[in-house]
Structure 1
Amino acid sequence: MKKIAILMYYMNCGGVEIALINLLKRIPPEKFHIDLYLLEKKGEFLERIPEYVNVIEIKTTPLEKQMVEERGVRPILKKSLRMSPKVFIEALWLSAKYVVFRRMKMEYYDYKAVFGQKKSLGIYDQVWDFHGYNTLTTYLAANLFAASSKSFWIHCEEVSKEAALYPKTMQRFDQIFAVSSTCATIYNQYYDAVKAKVFYNFIDKERILQHTKVAVVLEKENQVLTLVTVGRLSPPKGYDTALLVANQLRAHGVNFKWYFVGGGEDEAMLKEQCTALHLDKYIVFVGFTSNPYAYMQICDIYVQPSRFEGYAVTLMEAIVLKKVIVTTDVSGSEEAVFNGYNGLIVHHDVDELVQAIVSIWKTPNRLKKMQANANQKELSQSKSEEILNELLYSHKK
């Protein structure tokens, strides 16, 4: 039986985590032993990991964990002053290595200060840095595992641009997979020692459709435009922009209800902004839910106001649910929306988002046509299935 090691940080509520869960479900457990390495066993999606996957927590001391999360020495030195002499000595030792490796201009000098003297984490047939993002998982996959094949995933345009900063590390990966054509193109422009291939994230279509039948969370109101956005309440997702869009929609005389589905670090700030703009009547903060599809299924337009994405899983889910989409021109949008056919792609700009939504809603025939087109659009995953099979079965034991 072949052994695969997969690296992630946590299993928080996010598109990368959903993509991983959907990918794991496609690996036959009778043929592969899967170890999933996490910096810490936590996150809303931890319980959704298939039971045949062995979850391993990477061992670190509290100071080491803080250092790899914050990527600096000042926080751990400050913390160690309030701790025991033993902890203070550990902080000094970590800091000394950090400074030395940084002056030597080593790649990932901060991670090397923590893991540079640790033993190998294991021997595998394949190692996958699925989290990517040129962070801890990348360093560990490249340096602390022995494997006949190593793979790196790109989920974001910024990762593509940063790859050239770590040439020695990237050379240790045999396959580079980008979750959208945009990510792959950018990566290959900056670093082409190993060409990136497009590997679209898998979507669990059956699960999505089943969840829409579980419960009807609300009834649509007549003559009220229903908008839905799903995602973590964090800066990349552009919820602050969505509030400004909502403010202008009201000024345009649009009667609407917009559901923000998700939790996150910006929740309190966004609620304050919503109240300050007198939008509480129009905006509903749903919070985290394991069934966002119950909300997505009732919307007239699914809106993705993100600043950047790698491959917005929610856009693909909106396709499965046959929704008209308005999205910013983030990576992956071109795979989800045929501009003017089943939705509109605009820049991350308040006025453009407003104009897109208003132009669809106030032109009933256009909305009806786009809805008909959305009903015809199918999400194909055959290419990703071919690449996964090649990845799993093309390497010798």
Structure 2
Amino acid sequence: MKKLLLVINTLGRAGAEIALLGLLKNLDPTKYDISLYVIMAQGEMIKQVPDHVKVLNSSFNHQSVLSKQGRWSMMKTSVAAFFRNGACASKLRYLLKTGFAMIKAGTFQIDKLLWRVLSDGARRFDETFDLAIAYIEGGSAYYVADHVKARKKAAFIHIAYENAGYTRQMDQDCWGQFDQIFAVSDEVKEYFAKFYPEYSNRLAVFHNVIDREHIWHRSQEEGGFEDDYKGLRILTVGRLTYQKGYDIAIEAMALLKKLGCQAKWYVLGEGDQRKKLEKKIADLRLQDHFCLMGAVENPYPYYRQTDLYVHATRFEGKSIAIQEAQTLGCAIIASDSDGNREHIINHEDGIICELTPKSIADNIRLLLEDKDKRKAFSRAARRKAAQEEAQIHLLTELLMT
């Protein structure tokens, strides 16, 4: 039986984490001895890890990584990692040199800066694996590259690499340690190849795996919209970050309000942009029209009940939220940005529009006023979701070489 290790940074509710759970459920436990290690040992999705997967963390914090308490716990984990496994002077030099470089370039992101420290301060294992997989960029990639013993190593890239804020200085040539680098979409692959052309021959596309049966069953559970709103509902699911473009969505909602559209926009997710977004909502007097609902344990009843799903992001890898919306037959509008184009054929199974308030508002109005078109897009979305298959054979082929 082949021994597999999968490593991820956290297990909070986000796209890569959901895709990881889908992959774990598709790996055959009669063929593989599967282990999982979470760098920060935190996240509410841990309870969804299949029973046949061995979690190697000695303890685990079930708090959301986006909650106030969860962020405090992550800070304590980062401090502990700095002192664990020694090499404190080396870690400090890295933080100072890389941190100043990020500030100078105007790209400072504390999470990106800390991944190297968290990787170097993570638990080490004496065991040798047949295949070790870093399932996301940053800490897990650095950890598998530098601190895991394996016959073969693979990594997953989920986002347009340079846009996410990573640099060669941060990576310290970790990618040279991997036999295979999987990108979740063709565009993600192209971006990574431009950033690291020397590893182009190691790149392949491996689409996100989602558990459609699980999504459908959970969509039938109680929950969803609990207000008594009688108009049409718009839904977006995703973290409250700059990447997700909620500032533009709020302006689009303001235009819809001026046009007299009877619609209400709901956002499921949490993040560091909440206060800025709440201020913008208040400034535009949209408190009754644009609702930040926070993170929810089960978002799927909302997908099932909504009239329209909108995904207006600045950049993406390949959106799990869109795949979930397609699985549940949502009519979808997405911005013409990296990743989104691979999900939708414009005006065939959804709409791709410019990332401007006017374009988003115009297309929302078009679909809200055309129930037949919404139904047609809904049917097409379900068909597309049903056609996608897990690409487990790519891992099998890597193990066989």
Report the TM-score, using the length of structure 1 for normalisation.
0.80
The residue number in structure 1 matching 2:368 is: 361
Structure 1 residues 125-161: Cα deviation after superposition (integer angstroms, max 9, x where no partner): 11111022xx222222111112111101010012589
The residue number in structure 1 matching 2:78 is: 66
Question: What amino acid maps onto 1:20 in structure 2?
Answer: L
The residue number in structure 1 matching 2:400 is: 394
Query: 1:337 and 1:100, CA in 2 relative to 1: closer, same or farther beyond 3 A?
Result: closer
Q: CA deviation at 1:101?
A: 10
The residue number in structure 2 matching 1:128 is: 133
Percent of residue pairs bearing the same amino acid type: 26
1:145 to 129, 148, 152: 148
Question: Structure 1 CA distance, aligned partners of 2:157 and 2:122?
Answer: 28
Q: CA deviation at 1:6?
A: 1.5
The residue number in structure 2 matching 1:2 is: 2
1:179 to 177, 184, 198: 184
For the pair 1:23 / 2:26, whether they are aligned, the reply is no
Question: Structure 2 CA distance, aligned partners of 1:118 and 1:46?
Answer: 18
On the 8 A contact 1:176/1:196 being kept in 2, the answer is: yes
Structure 1 residues 77-108: Cα deviation after superposition (integer angstroms, max 9, x where no partner): xxxxxxxxx99x996675357679999xxxx9
On the 8 A contact 1:13/1:232 being kept in 2, the answer is: no
For the pair 1:275 / 2:282, whether they are aligned, the reply is yes
Question: Structure 1 CA distance, aligned partners of 2:93 and 2:167?
Answer: 27
Q: CA deviation at 1:239?
A: 2.0
Question: What amino acid maps onto 1:394 in structure 2?
Answer: M
On the 8 A contact 1:225/1:255 being kept in 2, the answer is: yes
Q: CA deviation at 1:68?
A: 9.6
Structure 1 residues 261-317: Cα deviation after superposition (integer angstroms, max 9, x where no partner): 122333344333323322122223332222211011112210012222111001011
Question: Structure 2 CA distance, aligned partners of 1:214 and 1:281?
Answer: 26
CA RMSD of aligned residues (A): 3.7
SS in 2 for 1:357: helix
Structure 1 residues 51-73: Cα deviation after superposition (integer angstroms, max 9, x where no partner): 332223499xx99953699xxxx
The residue number in structure 1 matching 2:245 is: 238
Question: Structure 2 CA distance, aligned partners of 1:372 and 1:146?
Answer: 47
Q: CA deviation at 1:40?
A: 2.5
Report how many aligned residue pairs link the two structures: 370
Query: 1:221 and 1:146, CA in 2 relative to 1: closer, same or farther beyond 3 A?
Result: same
Of structures 1 and 2, the larger Rg is shown by 1
The residue number in structure 2 matching 1:249 is: 256
> What are the ranges of 5 or more consecutive residues in structure 1 without an aligned counterpart?
70-75, 77-85
On the 8 A contact 2:251/2:357 being kept in 1, the answer is: yes
Structure 1 residues 173-196: Cα deviation after superposition (integer angstroms, max 9, x where no partner): 111101011111222233243332
Q: CA deviation at 1:389?
A: 3.8
1:185-334 alignment to 2 at 5 Å? 185-190=190-195, 191-193=197-199, 194-215=201-222, 217-218=224-225, 224-334=231-341
Question: Structure 2 CA distance, aligned partners of 1:222 and 1:97?
Answer: 53
SS in 1 for 2:386: coil
The residue number in structure 2 matching 1:95 is: 92
Question: What amino acid maps onto 2:33 in structure 1?
Answer: H
> What are the ranges of 5 or more consecutive residues in structure 2 without an aligned counterpart?
60-73, 101-112
On the 8 A contact 2:161/2:192 being kept in 1, the answer is: no
Question: Structure 1 CA distance, aligned partners of 2:346 and 2:118?
Answer: 48
The residue number in structure 1 matching 2:38 is: 38
Q: CA deviation at 1:253?
A: 1.2
On the 8 A contact 1:98/1:110 being kept in 2, the answer is: no
